[in-house]
Structure 1
């Protein structure tokens, strides 16, 4: 990833965090916090207390949802408890930890941009 592209992602990411702070009243501390918010939104049950395992499941839902726009995951439906189920449909790109984080940030930014259209 080029430095210009990485700088663009970082600038857009900071702007998104500012918008989320205005929306939810607290600035998300990291990517996981934003993924958690997306997972809660996609689950559709509103804010409530979640167990540690449920929080991990919510972040997984978020990853599946944000990467579904690029064909990495396909929505299969809801399970008996109303949780979204996804299937991996193409391999995720390989990269180091920073590349993976930037890949996810880029898709999170696109997710929120698509909500504003």
Structure 2
């Protein structure tokens, strides 16, 4: 990824965090916090208290959902408890931690952009 792309992602990411702060009243601390918000949105049951395990599951749902737009995951439907189920459709690109974080941030930005269309 070029520096220009990384700068573009960083700028778009900061703008997204600002928008989320306006929407939810608190600026998400990091990528995990944004993934948690997406997971809650995708679960569709509204805000409530979640166990640590459920929070991890919500972040997994978010990762699957944001990566599904580029065909990495396919949606299988809901389980008996109403939680979305996903299947890995193609390998996720490997990279160092920063590259993976930027890849996910790009997918998250695209997810929110698709909601505004």
TM-score (structure 2 length as normaliser): 1.00
| Residue aligning to 1:14 | 14
| Residue aligning to 1:110 | 110
For these two proteins, the number of residue pairs brought into alignment is: 117
For 2:93, what is the secondary structure of its paired residue?
Answer: coil
Extract unaligned runs of 5+ from structure 1: none
| Residue aligning to 1:80 | 80
| Residue aligning to 1:98 | 98
CA distance in 2, matches of 1:98, 1:107: 14
CA distance in 2, matches of 1:79, 1:60: 15
Alignment of 1:23-102 (within 5 A): 23-102=23-102
CA distance in 2, matches of 1:94, 1:68: 17
TM-score (structure 1 length as normaliser): 1.00
For 1:74, what is the secondary structure of its paired residue?
Answer: strand
Extract unaligned runs of 5+ from structure 2: none
Superposition CA RMSD, Å: 0.2
CA distance in 1, matches of 2:43, 2:116: 19
